[in-house]
Structures are given as C-alpha cells and as structure tokens.
A = this chain, B = another copy of it.
Amino acid sequence: MSETAGTQAGLRVRRVQAAYRQVADQLKDQILTGELTAGARLPNEAELARLFGVSRSTVREALRLLASQHLVDTTRGATGGTFVSSPDALSVAENLGGALGLLVNAQGMTVENLLEARLILEPLAARLAASRADAADLEALAGATASTSALAPSSGFVVHWDFHTTLVAITGNPLLHLMCRPINAVLRGRLHRDRIPRDVWDQVDADHVDIHRAVADGDADAAERLTREHLHSLRPLYEKMED
C-alpha cells in the first residue's frame, strides 16, 4: 500500500456493496470463524435466499464466489447441496499455479523472479529432505531419478519435474510443497524441450543422481550445495525463452 496516501482512502464514499458480495462475505466469515465447520452442509439455495432475504439468483452468485475460492463445494442430486470444503493443499496449489501463470503472462512477474524463488526454496528444501528422508522417501526419489535415463530424452523434462516435486515433498512441509509446485509448473511450461540437446539431459540426470545420493547419505550440506548448483546450471535453459 505505498500509494494509498495519494489515493483518497477516506474520501471514497463507501458504497453499499452488491448484495451477492455481502452474502458471500457473511458466509465466508462464518466459515473462517469456525461457525461453519469443514464438511458442514449449508441450507439449500432456496432456504439461504429466505434467510438472507434475497433472491435465489443472488445466493447462487455468492456461492459461485465462494466455490471459486475453494471455500465451498456444491453437488447436485438428492444428497447434494453446498458443503464447507476445507481446501486441501493440492487444490490450493493448483489455484495458485493458475494465478502465477497469469501473473507471468501478464505483467509484473518474470521468469527470472520464478527462478530466483526456486533458487531460494529448493536448496534449503533439499537440506531438510536430507535430514528427514526415510526409506520410503528414498525409494520414491530413486524412482524419479532412475527413470530419467530409462525414458526417451523427449520426456525427460516431465521426470525432471517429478524429481524436484518429490524432493520437496520429502521435507514433510506441505507449505513448501504448496509453494514449489506452482513455480515448477509454470517454469515447466516455459521450457521448450525440443531445444534442449541430449547431453544436457544427461547432465541433469547425473545431477539428480548426485543429489539423491547426498539425501540418502543424510549429507545436508552436500544436498543443499548440489541442488543449488543444479538449478544454476539449469538457468540458461529458461532464459532462452524470452521471446
């Protein structure tokens, strides 16, 4: 809010907000304060319309608003209705990914910003992963590592993405996963695999093997350093994409 001093915040007459927005806000409040717990079933649309004293159309527009924020979920049918849906991390990440993609396409966010953020998150995530990975985690990571060389190079970038996703997931911190996933998703779309020569994928493969070994050994320092170097070496592949 740096320019709020210039724009008159106090002068602006607080117009009465649209009814559908008021309804959405009230329902949102009830959800956030726990008055409506996750999984709870809201009254049907007709009843809500009666309770709020508005028409059903208005209620429906309010529900669309909440649904798009993953706050509620509506299903049809006899046992259908509108339910408070505690958003799982996955859907939030999906939503965030879409928004991030928009920001990159539109303005104010560059591929460079994404790379920088990833360069901050993943090396330290790798450090955490190295100190926390159990047998199952290592197996999953090995799966994402080994298949890189087994598959055709054209699909390498998919597996490459899997490796990074798996690595972050091992930290056990859903928030880190939540942040890294959209970043990688956007970056993946910004990488044209055709232009990447074969030997680069071989190097990527080798890097992954090294990182996996470091994580398996519980060598946090090495895991962090290798991941950072790995991401640095990947940087040129994305910077080409500025068209």
Residues of A within 8 A of B (CB): 20, 28, 31-32, 34, 38, 57, 60-61, 64-65, 67-71, 86-89, 92, 95-96, 98-103, 105-109, 113-114, 116-117, 120-121, 124-125, 128, 173-176, 179, 183
Contacts and interface: CB of A to CB of B under 8 A. Distances in A.
8 contacts: A64-B68, A65-B67, A86-B107, A87-B106, A95-B95, A103-B174, A113-B173, A120-B125
A223 to B, nearest CB: 14
A20 B65 CA distance: 13
- Kindly list the 9 A-B residue pairs having the minimum CB-CB distance in the complex, ordered from nearest: A86-B106, A68-B68, A64-B64, A120-B124, A92-B99, A117-B175, A113-B175, A113-B173, A61-B64
A225 to B, nearest CB: 14
Nearest to A106: B86
Contacts of A179: 117, 179
Contact of A120 (B69, B71, B89, B176): B176
B103 A64 contact: no
Contacts of A173: 113, 116-117
Contact of A105 (B32, B57, B113): B32
B99 A69 contact: yes
Contact of A176 (B69, B71, B95, B117): B117
A4 B224 CA distance: 31
B174 A108 contact: yes
A109 B103 CA distance: 26
A68 B24 CA distance: 11
Contacts of A70: 99
Contacts of A31: 102
A218 B60 CA distance: 54
Contacts of A100: 92, 175
Contacts of A61: 60-61, 64
A89 B108 contact: yes
A101 B32 contact: yes
Contacts of A88: 108
A120 B117 contact: no
A81 to B, nearest CB: 15
Contacts of A28: 98
A109 B89 contact: yes
